[in-house]
Amino acid sequence: MRIRRPIVAGNWKLNGSRAVCRSLVAAVGDGLSAQGLGPPVLAAADSRVEVLVCPPFVYLSELAGLVAGHQLKLGAQDVAVEDAGAFTGEVSAPMLRDVGCQYVIVGHSERRALFGDTDERVAGKVIAAVRAGLAPILCVGETLAERDSGQTLAVVRRQLAAVFSALESASLAPAAWRELAVAYEPVWAIGTGRTATPEQAQEVHADIRATAARRDATMSGALRILYGGSVKASNARDLFAMRDIDGGLIGGASLQAAEFVSICKAAAG
């Protein structure tokens, strides 16, 4: 029996319009209800799955009420290290909290590769999120070259260590362990149609849990570790059946309501 409540998070990336986003939230909410996973089930602390959507920044405030009405959670796709100041174009953790966000994705491979987020900057963003009362979803993962050269576990451990050490130095651990989730997303499987096999994903998830246990034994059993990387309705059940996979961070499939709802149903078991 699963001891950790699964999370399924939809990362909409740079997609949508006001009308499309509102329609998608409604369709997901109605679809979950039709599967017996809507209110009041999603509102219960012991419900079978926690579902959140992460739209672009500009739609967060407008969608907050609609998301809450369907008992979904609202997340942002990124966050600034800084809380305020002369940082044109940035969006701070307190601002995200103010418009109704409960979660934030941090360290996605696209932010690391395209926008220069280093391990240290990712750690700073996690700290900013925790201090503002947001639950970070920390993304980690290796490139194809790193996997082919046998560096997968070393890369993931390095990315984790930067965040764990920063939280400890900021005196935010161990309390932060209760809020933190980790998403393992092999870079070579994001948006490519390629997916790690359930066994490949489980190997890394198990190592993430063991790495967490070496920092704090109490964190290991409770830490929720999601898989991301071309998750679809057709492969979700096999992935989520793995012992250490606690749901998914879903990209393209989260833009299709029926597909996303099927993934949520698979996570609910």
Residues 32-89 have pLDDT tens digits of: 999 999 887 787 766 789 999 999 999 999 999 999 999 999 999 999 999 999 999 9
Q: Which of 50, 110, 185, 259 is catalytic?
A: 185
70 is known as an active-site residue: no
Contact 72, 29 (CB under 8 A): yes
Q: Which of 108, 110, 142, 146 is catalytic?
A: 108
Domain for residue 1, yes or no?
no
Instruction: Count the domains in the chain.
Output: 1
- Mean pLDDT score across all residues of the chain: 94
Q: What is the mean pLDDT of residues 202-211?
A: 97
Domain for residue 2, yes or no?
no
Q: Is the pLDDT of residue 94 over 80?
A: yes
Token pair recorded at residue 130: 């925790």
Token pair recorded at residue 66: 């609609």
203 is known as an active-site residue: no
pTM of this prediction? 0.96
Query: How much of the chain is in helix, strand and coil states, percent to nearest 5?
Result: 50, 15, 35
Check residue 1 and give its pLDDT. Answer: 47
Q: What is the mean pLDDT of residues 181-199?
A: 88
Domain for residue 114, yes or no?
yes
Domain for residue 185, yes or no?
yes
Q: Is the pLDDT of residue 256 over 70?
A: yes
Q: What are phi and psi of 74, to 5 degrees?
A: -115, 130
Q: What is the mean pLDDT of residues 183-187?
A: 95
Expressed as residue numbers, the domain containing 35 is 7-268
Domain for residue 71, yes or no?
yes
The DSSP symbol for 177 reads G
**CATH number of the structural domain spanning residue 202:** 3.20.20.70
**Residue-by-residue DSSP string for 228-266:** -SS--HHHHHHHHTSTT--EEEESGGGGSHHHHHHHHHH
Domain for residue 46, yes or no?
yes
